[in-house]
Amino acid sequence: MLGRNFPYFNSVGGFYSRENSRRQPGTGYTSKVRVRDKYHIVGFISSGTYGRVYKAVGRNGQGGEFAIKKFKPDKEGDIIQYTGLSQSAIREMALCSELDHANVVQLAEIILEDKCIFMVFEYTEHDLLQIIHHHTQPQRHPIPAAMVRSILFQLLNGLLYLHTNWVLHRDLKPANILVTSSGAIRIGDLGLARLFYKPLNSLFSGDKVVVTIWYRAPELLMGSRHYTPAVDLWAVGCIFAELLSLRPIFKGEEAKMDSKKTVPFQRNQMMKIIDIMGLPHRDNWPGIVHMPEYSQLQSLAMSRAPNHISRTSNLGSWYQNCLKNGGYSVNSSVGTPGDDGFDLLSRLLDYDPTSRITAKEALEHPYFKNGGPISANCFEGFEGKYPHRRITHDDNDIRSGSLPGTKRSGLPDDSLMSRAAKRMKE
């Protein structure tokens, strides 16, 4: 490969700027490690509000595959400036450096270079979103019950580790649950995670909206200010349901913030939950009357014709339908999560956050206790093959400092160079 032999070219990254030796006195910052000296960028994985993720392999004998998350720098005009890092980037860096558990994403290193942050993670071939999607193609075929059980067990195990260390994840959803090619579950994306041990400010005050709406716990929808690790367990319940039915269980539409930046009551999402779980009331959620959005809930209940709003839970029939449609049964090859699975699901989707099952209790649940050993490889015994993570090569340029459209003076345009280099290779 070109980049390996020719020191001034990265085969995909374009022109290589040598260390600019303008080491200032004082606190002028120059990274001691350069991303492209250590890693060869293979392709682009995904992008989000935080920035972009690239797939990379180690250079210079450092084996292995990596996912490098590059945080988007703030831009002022055309020039990237140091503007102070976001609190979520700080949290993610600090937590990932501290955490060490088989079911939590593994950080290799963090490189701060040319005004950008590069978090280098181990590479994971799959995630639950991709696995669920795969089971809907070309037609729906269920995820084997044993695999669901292993996924859930590992997920709860990672979550127990986070919670015993006072870390709330706050954004659990299938896309954030990573799966290695050997079937290990890793909880990923700690961008919203934070410590909940006696925070200086109440947990509510920092970020007003938390958790992707479909996985958002009812107490958050009801405006709770004192939320707890229970929010993560609600999300696990939603993920459990989605693994079985291959569809989000509560697929609501998010009401956007109005111009005054007040957080609206998420009426539609709450209704999706009520459709299956029934209307929450004092008996199954004693604290509900103290919830800030309680009056909204009452008006929601009033606005519907009495017959159109369920007072009792329909989760049982939802579950039975789900097993039937998925072909889950004792006699089938996919097996069944059975009654224990239903009991665990209903304990995870408990309206009352104070009685909702904890990660520790969930791991002790009969669903895991009964039915034999659980493999640490969720793919064990699974015949099928999941496609590899899709990597594109449109943007292989992890090049520090500049984003498309920002040219640095004195250097050739990197993107042109990289295209030229590719052509040369071909």
Partner 1 sequence: MAANYWASTQRKHWLFTRERLAEIRESFKEKDKASHTHFPLPDQRLLNIYFNQQLIKLGKRMSTRQQALATAQVYIKRYYTKNEIRNTNPYLVLTTAFYLACKMEECPQHIRFVVSEARALWPEFIVPDVSKVGECEFSLISEMQAQLIVHHPYRTLSELQPELSLTSDEVALAWSVINDHYLTDLSLLYPPHIIAVMAIIVAVVFKPSSQTAFHGSAAPIAGAMRDGGMNILAALSDKGGAGPPPRIQKLIAWLAESEVDIKAVIESTQELVSLYEVWEQYSEKNCKELLGRMIRSKSLDK
Active site residues: 171
**Using an 8 Å Cβ cutoff, are 40 and 54 in contact?**
no
Output the furthest CA–CA distance in the chain (Å, rounded).
Answer: 75
Q: Closer to partner 1 by CB, 73 or 188: give it.
A: 73
Of 204-233, binders to partner 1 (CB under 8 A) are: 206
Residue span binding partner 1 (CB under 8 A) among the ranges 143-151, 193-201, 295-303, 406-414:
193-201
Q: Closer to partner 1 by CB, 25 or 306: give it.
A: 25
Of 52-81, binders to partner 1 (CB under 8 A) are: 81
Q: How far is CA 37 from the centre of its chain?
A: 29
Distance of CA 247 to CAs 150, 204, 303, Å? 19, 30, 28
**Using an 8 Å Cβ cutoff, are 352 and 287 in contact?**
yes
Q: Verify binding: residue 410, partner 1, rule CB under 8 A.
A: no
Residue 327 CB, shortest distance to partner 1, in Å, is: 42
Neighbours of 360 (CB within 10 A): 12
| Residue 47 is labelled as binding a ligand | yes
Q: Verify binding: residue 20, partner 1, rule CB under 8 A.
A: no
Q: Verify binding: residue 100, partner 1, rule CB under 8 A.
A: yes
Peptide bond into 138 cis (omega under 30): yes
| Residue 48 is labelled as binding a ligand | yes
242-274 burial: b if 16+ Cβ within 10 Å, else e: bbbbbebbbebeeeeeeeeeeeebbbebbbbbb
Contact mark string toward partner 1, 116..155, x via CB under 8 A:
----------------------------------------
Q: Verify binding: residue 43, partner 1, rule CB under 8 A.
A: no
Give the one residue of 7, 26, 373, 410 binding partner 1; rule: CB under 8 A: 26
Q: Verify binding: residue 186, partner 1, rule CB under 8 A.
A: no
| Residue 170 is labelled as binding a ligand | no
Give the one residue of 12, 35, 99, 374 binding partner 1; rule: CB under 8 A: 99
Q: Verify binding: residue 97, partner 1, rule CB under 8 A.
A: yes
Q: Verify binding: residue 194, partner 1, rule CB under 8 A.
A: yes
| Residue 49 is labelled as binding a ligand | yes
Neighbours of 187 (CB within 10 A): 25
Residue 216 CB, shortest distance to partner 1, in Å, is: 21
Q: Verify binding: residue 31, partner 1, rule CB under 8 A.
A: yes
Residue 66: exposure state from Cβ atoms within 10 A (0-12, 13-18, ≥19): buried
Give the one residue of 22, 198, 261, 308 binding partner 1; rule: CB under 8 A: 198
Q: Closer to partner 1 by CB, 88 or 150: give it.
A: 88
- Rg of the chain on CA atoms, in Å: 24
Number of shown-chain residues binding partner 1 (CB under 8 A): 39
| Residue 181 is labelled as binding a ligand | no
Residue closest to 124 by CA, chosen among 68, 66, 175: 66
* Distant-in-sequence, close-in-space partners of 275: CB < 8 Å, separation ≥ 6: 310, 314
Structure tokens at 206: 């920092």
Structure tokens at 360: 């520790």
Q: How far apart are CA 332 and CA 336, in angstroms?
A: 8
Q: Closer to partner 1 by CB, 103 or 418: give it.
A: 103
Give the one residue of 48, 64, 199, 286 binding partner 1; rule: CB under 8 A: 199
Q: How far apart are CA 55 and CA 59, in angstroms?
A: 13
Residue 90 CB, shortest distance to partner 1, in Å, is: 5
Q: Closer to partner 1 by CB, 93 or 243: give it.
A: 93
Structure tokens at 10: 């990265």
Amino acid at 245: S
Residue 411 CB, shortest distance to partner 1, in Å, is: 21
Residue 161 CB, shortest distance to partner 1, in Å, is: 8
**Using an 8 Å Cβ cutoff, are 186 and 100 in contact?**
no
Q: How far apart are CA 31 and CA 126, in angstroms?
A: 32
Q: Closer to partner 1 by CB, 207 or 413: give it.
A: 207
| Residue 51 is labelled as binding a ligand | yes
User: Contact residues for partner 1 (CB under 8 A)?
Assistant: 25-29, 31-32, 81-85, 87, 90-91, 93-100, 110, 112, 115, 161, 164-167, 194-195, 197-201, 206
